[in-house]
Homo-oligomer: A and B are copies of this chain.
Amino acid sequence: MAREKIVVAGGTTKSWKLLLGLRIFAFMATLAAAIVMSLNKETKTLVVATIGTVPIKATLTAKFQHTPAFVFFVIANVMVSFHNLLMIVVQIFSRKLEYKGLRLLSIAILDMLNATLVSAAANAAVFVAELGKNGNKHAKWNKVCDRFTTYCDHGAGAIIAAFAGVILMLLVSAVSISRLLINSKNFSTTATTTSVV
């Protein structure tokens, strides 16, 4: 009995909808994080010294490019947003296409890599931001946020969005991995039913 070509269409399964929804939210979270952080800039005129009774002022600017962790943060979140956008397009426009195992496998591995990337970026940024907020007395690093409050608030907003992106990408990755199993279940039930018929 020639083995029937077993087609498991992406179809409108529950996991397909769940994955699409999670991806859209993950896309929005990581894109928001990248935009807010990349626009994060504050300029202030501060008293930097006093000579006699005369205060010496200087105009200082805080921007994300000044901190390597924040540059990595923006790049990583842009990459993960792009990955999700691509996957959303692939998922919507190839719904009828045959969902061979290999395709699901590469999507699952790509999702895992992107979850790892956005988690790396969010954690690097949050620990450097914590130094900006609290300083480090051992290293004699003063806090920054007491002088650049808006800059730190926007930075915190971007980092919160990125952590939402991390949680969503972990869920996307878990669903994506589970679809390999669901695919194998469909695969074998169709194989058994075709053989019975």
Interface of A with B (CB < 8 Å)? Answer: 1, 3, 6, 62, 66-69, 72, 101-102, 104-105, 108-109, 112-113, 115-117, 119-124, 126-128, 130-132, 136, 138-142, 144, 166, 170, 173-174, 177-178, 180-181, 183-185, 187-188, 191-192, 195-196
Residues of B within 8 A of A170 (CB): 112-113, 116
Residues of B within 8 A of A112 (CB): 112, 115, 170, 173-174, 177
Consensus secondary structure, chain A interface: helix
| Contacting residue for A3 out of B67, B105, B122, B192, CB 8 A | B192
Most chain B beta-carbon contacts within 10 A, residue among A62, A126, A180, A183: A180
CB distance from A49 to the nearest CB of B (A): 13
Do A136 and B178 touch across chains, with their CB atoms under 8 A apart? no
Do A181 and B104 touch across chains, with their CB atoms under 8 A apart? yes
Residue of B nearest to A139 (CB): B144
Most chain B beta-carbon contacts within 10 A, residue among A139, A170, A191: A139
Question: How distant is the Cα of A68 from the Cα of B126 in the complex, in angstroms?
Answer: 11
Residue of B nearest to A102 (CB): B181
Do B126 and A123 touch across chains, with their CB atoms under 8 A apart? no
| Contacting residue for A66 out of B1, B136, B196, CB 8 A | B136
| Contacting residue for A68 out of B72, B119, B120, B127, CB 8 A | B127
CB distance from A182 to the nearest CB of B (A): 9
9 contacts between A and B (CB under 8 A): A1-B196, A62-B138, A68-B130, A105-B177, A117-B119, A120-B123, A184-B184, A191-B192, A195-B195
Residue of B nearest to A121 (CB): B123
